A = this chain, B = another copy of it.
Amino acid sequence: MILTLKTGTSRKEADKVIKKVKKLGYRPHVSRGVDVTIIGMIGERAERYRDTFEAMETVDHISEIEKPYKLASREFKKENTVIDVDGVKIGGNTIVVMAGPCAVESKEVALETAKLVGASGAVIFRGGAFKPRSSPYTFQGLGEKGLKYLLNVRKITGLPVISEAMTVDQVTLVGKYCDIIQIGARNVQNYDLLKEAGRQRKPVLLKRGMATTIKELLLSAEYIMSQGNYKVILCERGIRTFEDATRFTLDLNAVPVLKKLTHLPVMVDPSHGIGIREHVATMAKASIAAGADGLIIEVHPRPEEALSDGPQSLLPEQFKTLMKELKNIAQALGRDI
């Protein structure tokens, strides 16, 4: 960290800050200008003490130079992390597409959809059993019964499955039935949930929150990793801005920025990211071109019957066409799909 003292801070007052730096076990690098004194405090995890220095009256502002996350950073691990989900490799040269309905609604529809998306090239099946809904009066998911339907899909189609956990208890439950545990956007800073996910052995797909910065997303990944589970997949899914023509603003800038900062795989959810069915395929293509390692897409055979997110679900036929187009773009980028 670099501490910049207020203009006109006396030498005596500056010395108090320097003393504090030393007391915490850091070596201070002091630059005294005519008006301004700057104190460098370089070392492991100095940012833990950010609040302490910010609370001092003589400190004007603080710049971080070390990253506050460590295990998630490229400095910690240079090469890309590739996560193996029953043979499907996430984070390598092959782009991975997960698809399925927003919510698991019945055994039959789940299986029907899985067969359709599998035939088009999806390699992982998605479907929510526990649904975070903004209103308490809307469909909340089938719970464990939904997870059983996912297991059934897995057995019949061979596709690994992913589903969301919203509470500490659900983390183990989802881990029991599914291949990947999803942490949703609304829970990206639910730290006990993250820690519990960190105690699992199954991979975790962590979605960015609608007001989460890239730095905070990496800190949330660090929460999971700090408990020993290094198999974290990050997922951009749109942030909240003033623009109201789309459901969210898909922040594709985040893809190259994340790929630079972290070794973890980065996926994109274009369905939530734009929220309008007819534009989902376009944004899926853009996501791949932005360097995403994979996509998670909502597909429903009859969206008007879907119990949630119908307006943004692709029809199976649209998904099929999209997969062909994605193949062309992947090739142009020197990747497989």
Contact = CB atoms under 8 A, between A and B. Distances in A.
Interface of A: 2, 4, 7, 29-36, 38, 40, 42-43, 45, 47-48, 51-56, 60-61, 63, 65-66, 68-69, 75, 132-138, 140, 166-169, 186-187, 189-193, 195, 209-211, 213-216, 219-220, 222-223, 226, 239-246, 249-257, 260, 273-274, 276-279, 282-283, 285-291, 303-311, 313, 325, 328-329, 331-333
B213 A211 contact: no
A134 B283 contact: no
A211 B190 contact: no
**Tally of this chain's copies:** 4
A306 to B, nearest CB: 6
Nearest to A285: B289
Contact of A257 (B239, B245, B251): B245
Nearest to A130: B192
A249 B252 CA distance: 8
Contacts of A313: 55
A260 to B, nearest CB: 7
30 contacts: A2-B4, A33-B42, A34-B42, A52-B306, A54-B311, A55-B313, A60-B65, A68-B134, A68-B135, A133-B191, A134-B220, A136-B223, A167-B167, A167-B192, A213-B244, A239-B241, A239-B249, A241-B241, A241-B249, A244-B244, A246-B257, A252-B252, A252-B283, A253-B279, A255-B282, A256-B282, A257-B276, A288-B289, A329-B333, A332-B332
A253 B249 contact: yes
Contact of A290 (B192, B214, B282): B282
Max chain B C-beta neighbours (<10 A), residue from A252, A285, A288, A333 = A252
Contact of A242 (B135, B211, B308): B211
A167 B168 contact: yes
Contacts of A250: 251-253
Contacts of A329: 289, 329, 332-333
Contacts of A4: 2, 63, 65
Q: Describe A's contact surface by its main secondary structure.
A: mixed
A241 B136 CA distance: 26
Contact of A47 (B42, B55, B61, B135): B135
B240 A253 contact: no
| Centre residue among A48, A55, A168, A209 by max chain B CB count within 10 A | A55
- The interface centre, meaning the residue of A30, A68, A189, A195 with most chain B CB atoms within 10 A of its CB, is A189
A190 B187 contact: yes
A43 to B, nearest CB: 8
B38 A40 contact: yes
A199 to B, nearest CB: 13
B249 A249 contact: yes
Given A4-B63, A51-B311, A135 B219 contact: yes
A251 B191 CA distance: 26
